[in-house]
Structure 1
Amino acid sequence: MCGISGIFNFDGAPVNEAQLREMNRVIHHRGPDGDGIYIEGNAGIGSTRLAIIDLREIANMPIYDTENRYVIVYNGEIFNYVELRNELLQKGHKFNTGSDTEVVLNAYKQWGEDCLHRLNGMWAFAIWDKTEKTLFCSRDRYGIKPLYFYKDDNKLIFGSEIKQILSCGVDKTVNDETIYDYLVFHFIDHTENTFFKNITKVQAGHKFTIKNNEFKLSRWYNLPEVNYIRDEKNLYSDLYDLLYDSVRLRLRSDVEVGSCLSGGLDSSAIVCIMHEILHNEGKPEIQKTFTACYDDPLIDERPYVEEVIKQTNSTKYYLFPDVQGFRSDIDKMTYHQDEPYT
């Protein structure tokens, strides 16, 4: 994962560079492989990078288009970036890196905000247009990658984690309604509210822009309304084809890819399909799987895991969570989560 940061001052005040760098610093854990910022007057964006695609330093963010008009910071992965890159090359776009970040940037350059509908992946990104002085930010369809913001009459501050925004001196008053919903109903993520009264989450499938000093937040994606199965005859084969293609795309990486394996239906299916794909493509990689194990046989799933391991010849890693480990990790978990969770 990576992390992004941003500040826009509606009152025209220049962005405080030290403040933006501090926002990057507090999320160094999200991106230990590189960090950077871009500031232009009253607008500034920053990022920390965990390198997955194109590990070279040239692929660190912020990334600029070849004409030096657009600047992007980005957290996520676009699984169909190879296909999109080829399409964009045919349309005359140029690339300096092999990263999916630059694919997103050129996709925005080609199709504008409509590029979101062409992206297959998970993301939160911000693009600054130097010519139009426009900021565009987006979150993926299902909210896999986080994005939060604080806004008042003078400024907008956004980031991948709440702690970045708090580092700018934003008031930490709690949101009583959110706390009530959590304690009484165990609800989280059901509204745009966070556990902090002054901090809002960009909800799944939403975007926002700042143009001519005007902030606009809107939904760009919703689940399609389909109340019937189109083709019952090929239902199972269609499901398998979709799952196979989904796993295939997610194996694109310049670093090793592993998988959690619980022994349940979902993870077992994914690991078996990974094995099939690697075998079909003649790749020599040995899969690595990671499993939480317990001494209590009533909750331990190692017998099921072992069946998958035998089928796929994967290298297994067994982890044994316990109360002592939980106690030692709880403070760190709380720090990274920023909010209660279920």
Structure 2
Amino acid sequence: MCGICGWVDFERDLLGERATAQAMTDTMACRGPDDQGLWMAPHAAIGHRRLAIIDLPGGRQPMVADGDGLEPAVLTYSGEVYNYRELRAELAARGHRFRTQSDTEVVLRAYVEWGEDLAARLNGMYAFAIWDAEREELLLVRDRMGIKPLYYYPTAHGVLFGSEPKAILANPLAHPVLDADGLRELVAYVKTPEHGIFKGMYEVRPGQLVRVNRDGCRKRRYWQLESHEHRDNVDSTVKTVRGLLEDIVHRQLISDVPLCALLSGGLDSSTITALAARGLAEQDLGRVRSFAVDFAGYTEHFKPDQTRSTPDAPYVHEVARHVDAEHTDIVLDSRELMNPAVRAAVLRARDLPIGIGDMDSSLYLLFEAIRGRSTVALSGESADEVFGGYRWFHDPAAVAADTFPWFIGGLTDRLGVEQLFKEDLERTLDVSGYQDAGYRQAIAEVPELPGEEGHERRMRQISYLHLTRFVQILLDRKDRMSMAVGLEVRVPFCDHRLVEYVFNAPWAMKTFDGREKSLLRAAAADLLPESVLQRVKSPYPATQDPAYEQALREEARALVERDTPCAQLLDLGKARALIDRPVGDSSSLAARASLERLLQLDAWLREYRVHLAL
């Protein structure tokens, strides 16, 4: 996996800036605990921190492609390319000689052979930078679905880049400034493509490459969703989905370090776990190892709410028995979730106050526990976006609404902090107007299918919104929480071949059995217990312990009674009214989420020394 960073400056001699380049690289230690490297030249400093997954001794970086005594290309790379063996064979046939068995060298040699066109040939999750020493040009590339993050910060004479904002902010040329537009992006829950939140910072868009030379930055999309007529019937579509999933999971089992599966007992993760179990057995690699998160007393005292009708544990254990997994439950309690050190680690991993409270803390603790026993994990993330699993896909009001459907679905009611802002700031931000503009931008991008009308056309739009906006929020969360502890999480449902194929299947086919995720359920029918196949979707669990909410309120009460960075943003009367609501009342979930975001925002402003330019 790894963390990457770098600095290009066409006017300054960077050979004298090693200490700063090293400081940038050091911020990525959590993403790459196994090794580090720093390559320096007069106009480029390229850093790398390595999490060794494939070819442990041979994949050191930054990696240089030598030719005739020159250094034409230097690569710093994060991720996995799952078709690297086929590409290696093709490149070898073209005369390339390889020194290692790593996919890193394949990516580097692919650049030497095809230039920036290499991106379209890669299957995987990746973010990388290549410094072309002969052209004096930097190339930044991000995978099609945006599984791996990549940020950049143009400067007067070049650019800074990194896997995470913290790498860029370690350079004195970058400043942690938050303007009104950045604050809008923080609270709007729209995930505007390329928006880096910090003023002057950008995120490389999924499926995009950025070229930086003396003439400035140029951007190009090498991949985006396209609309095509779907010619397969239901049976052949189910068969194709199953075939794709088998091939995807088989490819993603490649690892030279211990591998496991994340199991929640839902259709998505259970399918991946079952396919992994079969794939490992076919290769005589033993039983699949699986892990699940649980809370002390959660199953015994579970109370259904508006999003979760059943606890995970019974289904998790049934799947583990069914596929003969070597399973482990990671059981947490509220004290761990409220641990200041854990919450600080989560914020440091995120770099931004965009977390979802205890669900981030528990995910971090889950991954930390897994990392002691495994280095790679397969996840069921993104199946809901691909196959249409969220409840608002099937809510007529959400479908018909002229906005992002998850707003009508009620998700953002439980995530807001902006309702605590001062009235004049609320008017200045106009968050609803910002959300509407983001929605219009997204809808304008949707590739239309000639002749498609009515409900089918609308559901194509909604699928596009999820695959280009909503999924980014969840992929970013999973990447940050996992890489904060040096765990690589792979997401088979984000394979672009599967995404493209299912995106173009008609909505009527995606719901052919009258339920959500019909195609996936049918494709996995012989893999799972009937109870899991028929289980209604249940989101990632949140603690139901009232002591957790009470602790939040006490911490928030202390916050509003002292001079804090948030003071210039907050209407203290509104904040106190929220804090004083009874624990566990009908609006408890919304109140809890707002308090969590408030505490995180205040900690972020303090710890990152953010300058407000509102």
Deviation for aligned residue 1:154: 2.5
> Could you tell me which residue of structure 2 aligns to residue 108 of structure 1?
111
1:7 paired with 2:11, answer no
Task: Determine the structure 2 residue equivalent to 1:157.
Answer: 160
Alpha-carbon distance in 1 for matches of 2:82, 2:260:
16
Mapped to 2, the partners of 1:20 and 1:26 lie a distance apart of 10
60-69 or 259-268, which moves further after superposition?
60-69
Q: Matched residues in 2 for 1:31 and 1:82: separation?
A: 24
Structure 2: how far apart are the matches of 1:229 and 1:146? 35
In the alignment, structure 1 residue 316 sits paired with structure 2 residue 339: no
1:213 to partner: Cα distance: 4.2
2:350 maps to amino acid? Q
SS at match of 2:153: strand
> Separation in 2 of the partners of 1:210 and 1:182?
28
> Could you say which residue in structure 2 is the equivalent of 1:22?
23
Equivalent in the alignment of 1:341: 355
**Aligned pair in 2 of structure 1 residues 87, 289: CA closer, same or farther (>3 Å)?**
same
Query: Aligned-pair distance for 1:49?
Result: 0.3
**Structure-2 separation of matches of 1:134 and 1:190:** 27
> What does residue 193 of structure 1 align with?
195
Residue 36 of structure 2 aligns with an amino acid whose one-letter code is: D
Aligned 8 A contact 2:76 2:128 in 1: yes
Alpha carbons 1:66, 1:95 under 8 Å: kept: no
Q: Which structure 2 residue ranges, 5 or more long, are not aligned?
A: 303-309, 357-614
Partner residue in 1 for 2:92: 89
Deviation at residue 129 of structure 1 after TM alignment: 1.7
Offset of residue 302 of structure 1: 1.6
Give the alignment's TM-score, normalised by structure 2: 0.53
- Spell out, residue by residue over 1:211-266, the C-alpha distance to the aligned partner (whole angstroms, 9 max, x if none): 34432122221112135354434111110000111100000110111110000001
Q: State which of 243, 253, 256 in structure 1 corresponds to 2:255.
A: 253
Aligned residue number for residue 64 of structure 1: 64
Give the aligned CA root-mean-square deviation in angstroms. 1.7
CA distances 1:153-184 after superposition (whole Å, capped 9, x unpaired): 2231100111111111221111322322443x
Contact 1:175 1:194 in 2 (8 A): no
Identity of aligned residues (%): 34
Q: Which residue of 1 aligns with 2:123?
A: 120
For the Cα contact (< 8 Å) 1:10–1:153, is it kept in 2?
no
* Partner Cα separation in structure 1 for residue 165 and residue 332 of structure 2: 28
* 1:1-342 correspondence runs (5 A): 1-15=1-15, 16-56=17-57, 58-67=58-67, 68-169=71-172, 170-183=174-187, 185-187=188-190, 189-281=191-283, 283-294=284-295, 295-297=297-299, 298=302, 299-328=310-339, 329-339=342-352, 340-342=354-356
CA distance in 2, matches of 1:229, 1:181: 40
Q: Distance in 1 between matches of 2:223 and 2:50?
A: 27
8 Å CA contact retained: 2:159, 2:212: no
Conserved 8 A contact 1:10-1:213: no
Aligned counterpart, 2:459: none
Give the secondary-structure state (helix, strand or coil) at the position aligned to 1:307: helix
Q: Distance in 2 between the 1:262 and 1:39 partners?
A: 45
Q: Distance in 1 between matches of 2:10 and 2:43?
A: 8
| Structure 1 residue runs without a partner (length 5+) | none
> TM-score of the superposition, structure 1-length normalised?
0.94
Secondary structure of 1:95's match? coil
SS in 1 for 2:259: coil
Decide which structure has greater helix share. Answer: 2
Contact 2:262 2:291 in 1 (8 A): yes
Shift of 1:186: 2.5
1:290-336 CA deviation, whole Å, 9 max, x = no partner?
A: 10123233453121112211122111110123321122211110011
For the Cα contact (< 8 Å) 2:5–2:167, is it kept in 1? yes
Whole-angstrom distance in 1 between the partners of 2:154 and 2:128? 18
Are 2:281 and 2:287, in contact at CA under 8 Å, matched by a contact in 1?
no
Q: Hey, what's the Cα distance between the residues in 1 that align with 2:35 and 2:87?
A: 25
Counterpart residue identity of residue 24, structure 1 = T
Deviates more, 1:222-231 or 1:196-205: 222-231
